[in-house]
Copies of this chain bind each other. A is one copy, B any other.
Amino acid sequence: MPAPKQSKRVFLSERPKGHISDKTFKSETAALPTPNADQVVVRVDYVSLDPAMRGWLNDTRSYVPPVQIGETMRAGAIGTVVQGNNLLKEGDIVQGTLGWAEYVVVPAKDLRKLSPPEGSTAVDYLGPLGMTGMTGLLDVGKVKAGDTLVVSGAAGATGSLVCQIGKLKGAKVIALASASKCDYLVNELGVDAALDYKSPTFAKDFRETVGYLDVFFDNVGGEILDLALTRLKKNARIVLCGAISAYNSAGQPEGIKNYLTLISQRAKIEGFIVFDYKDRYAEGEAEMAKWIKEGKLKRRYQIEQGLEQCPQHLGLLFSGGNTGKLLVKISKDAAKY
């Protein structure tokens, strides 16, 4: 695996207003810099596509700096070292923020060398063993046995794990997703019920099936959040993991109106960012690895192809076009999973 002289990359060309367009990203092939002693050259094998990436394109105050115009699009990824140093050797499988590129030159200290435990593979570090798996359900949502847990975006990467963790912890789990994914949620992931959020009778179905809820794990925001606010039990917790319905709105998203129930039910809405739990990644990862080994946690990956198609693949997250964790295979030489 010799290090190449040049590499293709996809970079931010223009900040989108609303949805990503053809003009948002551009690609180019450029010379790869020569690594210094602290750096290694990594071939990017798989990149993770996450709803949060849409937020990184906005020039606003947030939990990470926005991606700059001209900068290679930031993305979590796994790759293979093709030119090592004293810390990493050629052939090591690593995880890091590699970005949308064929090859990258990065400090070895920013990479983690992977040795997947029994039952797991390297891509699981982009799924349950990585940030996707550190859902905040237990720390923020404080889900316990007997709770009624409602999960929106339930068939997505994080949602599908939240549903399973909820069941493993003894909660009654009601999953919200589009109609085509409800079977998967009930029959493969074992949730108690799955509701089609696009159904004309959704609000009624929600009231009848859920009754009142203890925890709402929300990936969607907007109207679904507003409906959930009307069905809170006393001391209910809403974990705001994402608000995918709002990420692409050119103006302001639809407002939530039913927040007065937060007072009458002494309830809360709490946002969380996985980075705040860095100290506990190892603990979360160990628990997930154990569940995987025991066959208690199912993973599903939707693996798309092609570096230059990354922008279009990212759009799948906002059109309901993915089930499970969405990845893009970048290198044709990457191991199959």
Contacts and interface: CB of A to CB of B under 8 A. Distances in A.
Interface of A: 55, 61-63, 221, 225-226, 240-243, 246, 252-273, 276
Contact of A268 (B255, B264, B268): B268
A263 B276 contact: no
Contact of A246 (B55, B62, B260): B260
Given A254-B255, A255-B256, A269-B269, A263 B246 contact: no
How many identical subunits does the complex contain? 2
B257 A252 contact: yes
A241 B266 contact: no
Contact of A253 (B61, B242, B257, B262): B257
Contacts of A272: 263, 266
Contacts of A267: 270-271
25 contacts: A55-B264, A62-B264, A63-B263, A63-B266, A221-B260, A225-B259, A226-B255, A243-B259, A243-B260, A243-B263, A246-B260, A252-B257, A253-B257, A253-B260, A255-B257, A256-B257, A262-B269, A263-B272, A263-B273, A264-B273, A266-B270, A267-B270, A268-B269, A268-B271, A269-B269
A58 to B, nearest CB: 10
Nearest to A268: B270
A159 to B, nearest CB: 15
A276 B234 CA distance: 11
Contacts of A259: 221, 225, 240, 243, 256, 269
Contacts of A266: 63, 270-273, 276
Contacts of A264: 55, 61-63, 271, 273
